[in-house]
């Protein structure tokens, strides 16, 4: 099909919930993707921090082909080997002792909210409130949406799930004010991603952990975007010297295929009994095989350390660019390969200029330019991307 026809049919037949770039991506290899007009792009977006190993990584491709030839889908009424192996592997590389599999980040958050409530109800305690944070993002299904601290995602959709309260990020006093005898859990992103790449302060996370222990409530970390080595450690909580009671994962977890997971301690796991929660596709053997290949590659190649090193290189270079262009940029934030540049204007136009230069980047909270390249990125890729970014900035500066 011609490019214009694909775009026109897309606009005719897809619900218009996205502002898409007029680009049709046809294939990808490693850190690069290719469009229908044979233009090549360096991918510093990774499909919203999903493609940790880049496109078509041989280990992931091999795992998927191997598994799809053996077993497609069986449901959770039976065991399947890749899924069990993956659950064990995730527990080996985290604090967790048990895992629930689903298909997306929002479902992982739903599972966490349900498990927190169910745990207390099972003990005969009427605790159901979840304390979340202003400017957070936890997903689009009703539970996660209700726990998302940004009104723009909720407008016109009420009534939302009752029992969700909001505190100010990095402010422990504000959290304490929201805690009542009904509180079941605190839900937080270690780095608020969609609202502009804002990391939690180490002291705040320590206080939060202490508070949840003191009150006997759950600390739920939403690591949907920050997990899987993206920030330079396997999970962002490992920066803070604390462990959560529950943690959500998704995005990069499935090696490019849809997968979400809720990882929990033995104590939290007590809340769910057979029939309490479920997902038809959760833990599907093909996705599980892709996920195992992804995690094993991260471990074997120590891609967490690589992300930390290359992330620092990219961050320092972005800080130089920020200083040179103070008319456009005010701050560079983030950890590892999850970085944001706060802009003095909306980021959409610069995102388009970057694409025209052959660089895919994203935006967050409208005015933050967002970088989440694959973990396998090289310094040469970064240097090329910076060259493209500088050219895009020059174009952007020509506009008012």
Residue from 43, 67, 110, 194 in contact with ligand PLP (CB under 6 A): 194
134 three-state secondary structure: strand
Is 80 or 372 the residue whose CB approaches ligand PLP more closely? 372
User: ∠ CA(150), CA(176), CA(202), 5° rounding?
Assistant: 75
Burial of 92 (0-12, 13-18, 19+ CB in 10 A): exposed
d(CA 283, CA 290): 11
Piece of the chain touching ligand PLP by CB under 6 A; list 68-76, 133-141, 262-270, 324-332: 133-141
Residue carrying structure tokens 């899924």: 83
d(CA 60, CA 66): 10
Residue from 33, 147, 224, 290 in contact with ligand PLP (CB under 6 A): 224
Least distance from C-beta 271 to ligand PLP, angstroms? 21
Residue from 175, 193, 295, 318 in contact with ligand PLP (CB under 6 A): 193
Least distance from C-beta 127 to ligand PLP, angstroms? 23
Number of alpha carbons in the 13 Å side-chain half-sphere of residue 246: 31
| Tokens representing residue 341 in the block | 């540049």
Piece of the chain touching ligand PLP by CB under 6 A; list 63-71, 221-229, 230-238, 290-298: 221-229
> If binding is defined by CB under 6 A, does position 80 make contact with ligand PLP?
no
> If binding is defined by CB under 6 A, does position 110 make contact with ligand PLP?
no
- DSSP secondary structure of 301-330: TTHHHHHHHHHHHHHHHHHHHHHHTTTTEE
> If binding is defined by CB under 6 A, does position 225 make contact with ligand PLP?
yes
Least distance from C-beta 312 to ligand PLP, angstroms? 23
| Tokens representing residue 62 in the block | 């091999």
Least distance from C-beta 257 to ligand PLP, angstroms? 12
Residue nearest to ligand PLP (CB): 105
Cα distances (Å, whole numbers) of residue 64 to 70, 100, 258, 283? 10, 21, 13, 14
Residue from 110, 189, 342, 396 in contact with ligand PLP (CB under 6 A): 189
| Tokens representing residue 91 in the block | 């527990």
Least distance from C-beta 138 to ligand PLP, angstroms? 5
| Tokens representing residue 48 in the block | 């919203």
Residue from 30, 54, 139, 149 in contact with ligand PLP (CB under 6 A): 139
> If binding is defined by CB under 6 A, does position 227 make contact with ligand PLP?
no
Least distance from C-beta 106 to ligand PLP, angstroms? 3
> If binding is defined by CB under 6 A, does position 250 make contact with ligand PLP?
yes
Q: CB of 307 within 8 A of CB of 231?
A: yes
> If binding is defined by CB under 6 A, does position 104 make contact with ligand PLP?
yes
Is 252 or 354 the residue whose CB approaches ligand PLP more closely? 252
Least distance from C-beta 39 to ligand PLP, angstroms? 27
- Using CB under 6 A, count the residues that bind ligand PLP: 14
Is 250 or 328 the residue whose CB approaches ligand PLP more closely? 250
d(CA 304, CA 346): 31
> If binding is defined by CB under 6 A, does position 105 make contact with ligand PLP?
yes
Is 140 or 391 the residue whose CB approaches ligand PLP more closely? 140
Residue carrying structure tokens 């007009």: 37
d(CA 233, CA 95): 13
Is 138 or 233 the residue whose CB approaches ligand PLP more closely? 138
Least distance from C-beta 102 to ligand PLP, angstroms? 9
Q: CB of 348 within 8 A of CB of 19?
A: yes
Q: CB of 240 within 8 A of CB of 206?
A: yes
Taking each helix axis from N to C end, the angle separating 285-300 and 303-324, rounded to the nearest 10 degrees, works out to 80
Piece of the chain touching ligand PLP by CB under 6 A; list 222-230, 284-292, 296-304, 380-388: 222-230
Is 53 or 224 the residue whose CB approaches ligand PLP more closely? 224
Contacts of 189 (CB under 8 A, 6+ apart): 133, 136, 137, 138, 200, 221, 222, 223, 225, 226
Contact residues toward ligand PLP (CB under 6 A) are: 104-106, 109, 137-139, 189, 193-194, 222, 224-225, 250
């Amino acid at each position: 099909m011609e490019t214009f026809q694909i775009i026109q049919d897309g606009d005719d037949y897809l619900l218009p919930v996205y502002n898409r770039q007029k680009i049709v991506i046809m294939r990808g290899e490693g850190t690069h993707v290719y469009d229908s007009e044979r233009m090549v792009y360096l991918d510093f977006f990774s499909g919203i921090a999903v493609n940790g190993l880049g496109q078509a990584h041989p280990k992931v491709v091999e795992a998927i082909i191997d598994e799809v030839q053996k077993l497609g889908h069986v449901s959770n009424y039976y065991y399947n080997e890749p899924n069990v192996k993956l659950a064990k592997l995730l527990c080996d590389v985290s604090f967790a002792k048990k895992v629930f599999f689903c298909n997306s980040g929002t479902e992982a958050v739903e599972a966490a909210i349900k498990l927190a409530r169910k745990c207390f109800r099972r003990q005969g305690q009427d605790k159901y409130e979840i304390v979340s944070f202003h400017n957070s993002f936890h997903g689009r299904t009703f539970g996660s949406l209700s726990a998302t601290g940004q009104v723009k995602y909720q407008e016109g959709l009420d009534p939302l799930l009752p029992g969700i309260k909001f505190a100010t990020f990095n402010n422990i006093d504000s959290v304490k004010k929201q805690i009542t005898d009904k509180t079941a859990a605190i839900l937080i992103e270690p780095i608020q991603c969609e609202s502009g790449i804002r990391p939690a302060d180490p002291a705040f996370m320590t206080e939060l952990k202490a508070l949840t222990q003191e009150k006997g409530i759950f600390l739920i970390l939403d690591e949907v975007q920050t997990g899987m080595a993206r920030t330079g450690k396997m999970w962002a909580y490992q920066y803070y010297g604390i462990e959560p009671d529950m943690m959500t994962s998704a995005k990069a977890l499935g090696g490019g295929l849809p997968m979400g997971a809720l990882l929990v301690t033995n104590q939290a796991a007590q809340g769910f009994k057979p029939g309490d929660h479920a997902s038809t596709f959760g833990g599907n053997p093909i996705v599980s095989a892709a996920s195992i290949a992804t995690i094993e590659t991260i471990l074997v190649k120590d891609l967490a350390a690589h992300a930390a090193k290359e992330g620092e290189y990219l961050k320092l270079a972005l800080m130089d660019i920020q200083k040179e262009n103070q008319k456009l940029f005010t701050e560079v934030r983030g950890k590892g390969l999850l970085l944001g540049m706060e802009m003095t204007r909306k980021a959409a136009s610069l995102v388009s200029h970057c694409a025209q230069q052959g660089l895919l980047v994203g935006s967050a909270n409208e005015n933050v330019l967002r970088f989440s390249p694959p973990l396998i990125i090289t310094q040469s890729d970064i240097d090329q991307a910076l060259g493209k970014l500088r050219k895009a900035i020059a174009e952007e500066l020509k506009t008012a």
